[in-house]
Structure 1
């Protein structure tokens, strides 16, 4: 589970509105009792508004009951109705209905030239698109809504749009801009808003500090919000503050405080009848108990969360509950039940198409199986996670190449436009010259000289532009074979290299004797960063990128200039070493393990270091003098790498050769390398590293 014990489903909900008693439903009908006239429509909408924020399942039928009256009322009444209907559908996970109502709200606002209505519609559309994992579109909608909200006098709308804008910058990784925006909206709210508005803004500030791991400042903002909230009567808003306290406590390792905050939030939700929010708290409680190694309670809350999520019809929450139940079973020794529950959760994530989420769950699955002693299952889970990681990595690489190509095409079009403009200028000059020739013959020589100078300058500029285009083409070709993050060769370049690698004469030369008659070989080394997901989860993806960059630099220092180093995918590196003594492979592995462990990595004031697991083998490799293809050799090295993972990490397993080959086959060895090794059919070398697996210091 994520470090902050939060549910996996994206859940940016809008800031709460004006303070009111949440269970205000009786007020809606009280004015009709004893023959009294109903309250004005605007008052009833205001009363429903706060109920909608915390108990949407109760608010939706109330809104539907007054919908005919509101649609027949004023433009403002219709705007408020549509805004609340959109949010109610969104809160209940009915995204198609929510988007349809939001579209109607935007059309109404544009028809009436009402910027506040358009801003509300765009903002609510952004929340839905965020929940559907369309982050780029969500951010675009938020920033347009913020621009329109700034033209209105609606305090609450401007505050809510400003908070969402800061959150969008944080999701893009632009934390300085996010913090600047959040501080500005808190300052603005102090001046223009009331106590409830300030509670909302301070709570959002505290949550941003959680994301930035600025926990001290987060607690300061939360304490001020708690003090202000105590002066209002709103159990729902207190529940939101308890949720933020829970995240801050988990982030600072105060698990007892986190647990109490989550229990308080759950009690408030049940008191309010906020059934749509209860499953999230149950999932968080199960996750927290897992982190506290209380597997019995984790299982109990996981089962409750599963039932509540299934009743709510939220498949993402059902999948999360299944994973928590599986972890509890595995930790309690019930391996078969744990695997079954995990697989059920994974099946839902696959159906939903959430591949980043599926990758994270597969990594958790592998770790849980490894702790439960099911090493074969763990290796299988790691294989699935790595295959998905490679797929996502390739998509990101293709996206980067497309962006680079688009930039290149745009530059080329701009150059063409400039050339056309210059050509037009030349034509204008020629026309002017002809007119001058007809009128002033004695200036003909001067005009021709001037035209020649202009054409010469243009010719030089065209040559300069062509030279720049040639350099850009060279850069593009170089970037197509390099990994954009580390500068190492990419997988495609290595595959093309190996298809053309070494003629028969070159291989014969390579097999000559080295020092003291030692056989000369090439070698393949496949390295995988240990616990790389933990680095990303703990310090963020920026830290993960910094680790990969520094490890790439270390590999260049440790290996020779003639060795090919490849970013194989995700956190994996492949090194191809030509022409070295076969007896030196173990020493190379030892240098790699220790050299990488000594790599100095600093990210945002924190010193990090990481280890790798390695699989290696000489190349060419094969039994009976029949070498395997390079693809099969890499596959064997990959299996050796996962043996190193499964046997404790921070070590290297090398395939040295084969024995008793008459009793087995290459296909059987490739099916299960470890079993073949233990049966005596494969000769392996094991090199262990001498440093701890992961360290960090301020």
Structure 2
């Protein structure tokens, strides 16, 4: 990521949001300190426990469903107080634990974690004594949520393994949803993004099975966290799209709990996607207004901070200072020490730009120390960019070099290669789930309309309207058939598009490794005849490009490199991004002379035409390995792994010979080299 001179790229921390506790404390009317813990039971006892039936009070469950208008606890403290007075040890254990769970979380969200854990210990023992796995799992989830509410994510993480041990036996869908969503948020906050997406997807799949009145609220909450993960990964366009869809759903369904956070995520991701502008500043100010109307001072603070950062990026220092100081004032009012560190960092940077070098750098370093205590490594690396720039402005070049070295080490730790593919596939699965869910909602609405019309018809006089009634039924049947067919076509189209996306590298648009196994290497998909050429190409000195110009320029080189490969190959040939800066080419039904022509053209198209990037014109060369596979209809499929190993060996021979060449073996045992003379 690159920054313009004297313009810090500002970001906000995307940690889980703490909900404001509105409930008054209520004493727990039972004690059970002598009861054993579930985790002291033998494996046989656990198997017997897993076989227990549900134990819920239907009326009490319905009452709690109606009260739950937020993500974790009812917002009406008096209603919850009245509910808790009606709950005791004779209440069915699952309903008892659910009600007390709201009590525990209300204490935890009021930053009274010690009192919350005392209550939780008693409830945990009662649940364990009951042997009901739904109740035992729910109290474990509640305890972990209490730690999350107080930003003790490592403590919350310790609860994941016990919950996962219990989860296969849980029959209560609401508890399964809550457990999966909790695990996703905890893993997200300890930098395990790919697994977090996996559990978020599991939680999303359970939403249609929960009580209908809470489905839209849960769906909005899940989509908020998806947009946040996308932003943490730097997938700005995906984050914008997810946030906008969730905002539209929120207004349509009247569920506005997370509107301030969604507005903030949308504006934040748009700034990274499009760059700073007056429109971006207006988007942050709109967010601040929405947050103020929703009584969410934390988001209001962050919105002003980001508006100030956008002005700073536009070199409008006076406006930037005004917005940043507004955000800082709100942060002081709500005693938000952690996140206000970003605002203090930006204000320190402004002082550096105004010539107050020593004071500004001191304030930046103090703020960075607080920020690094909770921020992601990717965000810490961004902060180091601006600290290095501040040192440069102040003429402290030795400290600048040390800071840049520290940043390079952080970026290396952040780099994820194999996990990136896993995250791409999870994203595709998530989008497919969203499309299927939207289609299901359309089908439910159509079914509801049909039922309403049928009920109206039944209330009419049967004798007088019998013929009309039959006609309406026929029309409805035809309409239903056409609508269902249309919905199925939409679903098939969406699935086909998502399948194609899963076979493409998102950066270059070339195929990925999965495409080989899906389209080429499966025996039931391909008849192997004729000669095939296999290339592996590697961009020379690509690491130097990233280190010198940044990963954004590196991405520009990869995109142009892929475009030139596509232009060189035939439509029937296959180009795959093999990993990093390596590319695999498979050319079907080709002769030896044609292979050598392609090799020369690749070297020419890449090496003799400069790459135009945001860092200027770059001269790029490639090294490669190549071989030919001969097949006939009667032969078995070729040994692709052995072929790839051979071509990879030829590639490294080309690099050792001096790069900017392709080493090939098209005749058994004979290896030669094609290279461009200067």
Give the TM-score of the pair, scaled to structure 1. 0.47
**Bigger Rg over Cα:** 1
Higher relative contact order (CA 8 A, sep 6+): 2
